[in-house]
Amino acid sequence: MQDRFKGILLTRDENKVMSVNVTELGLDDLMEGDVVVEVEWTTINYKDGLAITGKSPVVRRWPMVPGIDFAGTVVSSENERFKAGDKVILNGFGVGEVHTGAYATYARLKGDWLIPMPEGMNGRSAMAIGTAGYTAMLSVMALERHGITPGRGPVVVTGANGGVGTVAIAVLGKLGYEVIASTGRTEETDFLKSLGASEIIHRDELSGPAKPLAKERWAGAVDAVGSHTLANVLSMTSYGGAVTACGLAQGMDLPASVAPFILRGVSLLGIDSVMAPLALRQEAWSRLVTDLDHDKLEALSSEIGFDGIVDAAHQIIDGKIRGRVVVDMK
């Protein structure tokens, strides 16, 4: 193990002005934990963009190594679940927010937060999926639990060109759903259709103030956008349908009416990836082995190195990233 290694450190001065430092770190800069992992692959999620740009207060402990997810190899472990050499995935549990995170050569954290790399997946593919893709899978599983089968009707995916959106389209398409993709980037129509969407709508159709009820257009929805978009999606969901909510790319508000709930029996299903219980996490990661085509994952992901992280973090907040960005840390 190296004594000094590369990392990104977010610091804040006495006036709460944040600095992003691409620097050298030592193990003492990492918070306590019973497992040390060499980070081999990580990703850029929307939340990482919020942390590095300082746009939202996702970092709640200073200084902080950002980065909410990674795949790597255990270097040392005092946790009985893991030993040196084990391949693992980490996502959530406040890593990169309140516990030093993924954007460094090593991470030290609680072994109980790690999951063993599923059979059939490697570090690169796990991080091409990343928190966003795993959240897409949690969303699809929530729709399934609610009985939204392909035969019930179409499913709309908002923020279609984003990380959650692209993986949700690929998984839903593979499972046989008719997928409607809502995007601001209609020039990506061919790409979205290649992932599994059968119809593309412009996000402007959903981004203004919603009526209490509108024409029924879909049986289910995976929403990563929130605000007026989620309100419109709810108003257009057919009788007995279900909508998952995981994101806030348009806003954190929900200017909706109760009409879809009380007149159409529509359900709103909240999706949290950060504190999801271990069994649900493991189910989602192993479903991603079977229910996401490798070729589609390749098509929706691009690769950068450690030096590209800060730039990519700004781009994701500006809505300029298509699909998923995987970071080679080696």
Closest residue to ligand NDP, based on beta-carbon distance = 162
Longest alpha-carbon distance in the chain: 62
- When the beta carbons of 36 and 137 are compared against ligand NDP, the nearer one is 137
Residue 24 Cβ vs ligand NDP, minimum distance, rounded to whole Å: 29
Q: Which is nearer to ligand NDP, 101 or 165 (CB)?
A: 165
Q: How far apart are CA 289 and CA 192, in angstroms?
A: 21
Token code pair at residue 172: 């839903």
| Cα–Cα distance, 30 to 124 (Å, whole number) | 24
Task: List C-alpha distances in Å: 57 to 54, 61, 221.
Answer: 7, 10, 28
Q: Which is nearer to ligand NDP, 77 or 250 (CB)?
A: 250
User: Which residues of this chain interact with ligand NDP, rule CB under 6 A?
Assistant: 45-47, 131-132, 135, 159-165, 183-185, 203, 207, 224-225, 229, 246-250, 271-274, 316, 319, 321
Q: Supply 75's token pair.
A: 């270097």
Nearest approach, Cβ of 288 to ligand NDP (angstroms)?
14
- Closest separation between CB of residue 210 and ligand NDP, Å? 14
Shortest Cβ 302–ligand NDP spacing (Å): 12
**Separation between Cα atoms, residue 62 and residue 180, nearest integer Å:** 42
Element (DSSP H or E) covering residue 303: strand 301-305
Shortest Å distance, C-beta 325 to ligand NDP: 9
Q: Please say which residue, 75 or 98, places its beta carbon nearer to ligand NDP.
A: 98
First-to-last C-alpha distance (Å) of the chain: 13
Output 46 or 82, the one with its CB closest to ligand NDP.
Answer: 46
Sort strands 69-77 and 35-44 into parallel, antiparallel or unpaired: antiparallel
